[in-house]
């Protein structure tokens, strides 16, 4: 048996189909109706065109699914306006309640109102994932937690210590500034 020195005439490559056969064409047909490439056939596209169209379809599906998952802009702005209004009200209640004198006869009712407002605010907005990362939410939540914790532990008529009061007022101030900036 004599081996050929040329790669083109070797026995292994002589069994391969010629390059013009359908196996080597760079066109794919949608229904495999024709085995020869036809550039004028609208159902024929190159592998690159097929890959691009699949990628574009996937991108379209992904973007449309993201649009469906996110809230519409009008609805999101409505939640934002409501959040801003209610958070400002809660901040005002915190300031007035911790600013009351311990001898004031309205302290117990003011603390009860604050606890009711803070419980409803927390219950309403801690479920909103869009608000959880905001600085205003974090600071108001922390201030409400400190105020509620104090009044639960020491009673509604117990004065808040100066150090704790200062920290709560600082958190409320930074929350209000963040709220004005939309954060």
In tens, the pLDDT along 31-74 reads 444 445 555 555 677 888 777 878 777 776 666 655 555 444 43
33-62 b/e with 16+ CB inside 10 Å = b? eeeeeeeeeeebbeeeeeeeeeeeeeeeee
CB 151 within 8 A of CB 115: yes
CATH of the domain at 115: 1.20.58.810
Q: What is the pLDDT of residue 89?
A: 93
Residue stretches of the chain with pLDDT short of 50? 4-10, 13, 24, 28-35, 70-76
Q: What is the pLDDT of residue 18?
A: 59
**H-only helix segments in 100-161:** 107-125, 135-154
The C-alpha angle with vertex 19 and arms to 17 and 24, in degrees rounded to 5, equals: 90
Q: What is d(CA 21, CA 41) in angstroms, rounded to the nearest whole number?
A: 18
18 occurs within a structural domain: no
Report yes or no on 151 lying in a domain: yes
Tokens of 94: 């915190």
Question: How many structural domains compose the chain?
Answer: 1
Res 44: pLDDT? 74
pLDDT for 4 equals: 47
Residue 176 lies in a domain: yes
Burial of 134 by CB count in 10 Å (0-12 exposed, 13-18 middle, 19+ buried)? Answer: buried
Contacting residues for 106 by C-beta, under 8 A, at least 6 apart: 100
- 94 within a domain of the structure (yes/no): yes
Residue 139 in any domain: the answer is yes
Cα 80 to Cα 84: distance, rounded to the nearest angstrom: 6
Tell whether 135 is covered by a domain.
yes
Whether 33 is covered by a domain: the verdict is no
Domain that holds residue 166: 75-181
Identify the pLDDT of residue 73. Answer: 42
Say if residues 83 and 125 touch (Cβ distance below 8 Å).
yes
In a domain, 7, yes or no: no
């Amino acid at each position: 048996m004599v081996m050929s020195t040329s790669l083109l005439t070797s026995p292994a490559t002589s069994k391969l189909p010629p390059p013009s056969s359908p196996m080597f064409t760079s066109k794919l047909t949608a229904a495999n109706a024709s085995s020869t490439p036809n550039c004028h056939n609208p159902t024929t596209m190159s592998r690159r065109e097929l890959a691009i169209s699949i990628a574009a379809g996937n991108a379209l599906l992904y973007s449309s699914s993201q649009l469906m998952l996110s809230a519409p802009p009008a609805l999101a702005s409505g939640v934002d306006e409501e959040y801003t209004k209610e958070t400002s009200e809660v901040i005002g209640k915190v300031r007035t309640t911790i600013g009351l004198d311990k001898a004031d006869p309205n302290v117990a009712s003011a603390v009860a109102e604050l606890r009711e407002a803070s419980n409803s605010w927390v219950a309403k907005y801690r479920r909103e994932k869009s608000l959880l990362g905001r600085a205003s939410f974090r600071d108001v939540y922390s201030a409400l937690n400190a105020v509620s914790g104090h009044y639960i532990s020491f009673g509604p008529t117990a004065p808040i210590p100066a150090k704790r009061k200062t920290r709560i007022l600082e958190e409320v101030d930074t929350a209000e500034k963040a709220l004005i900036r939309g954060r």
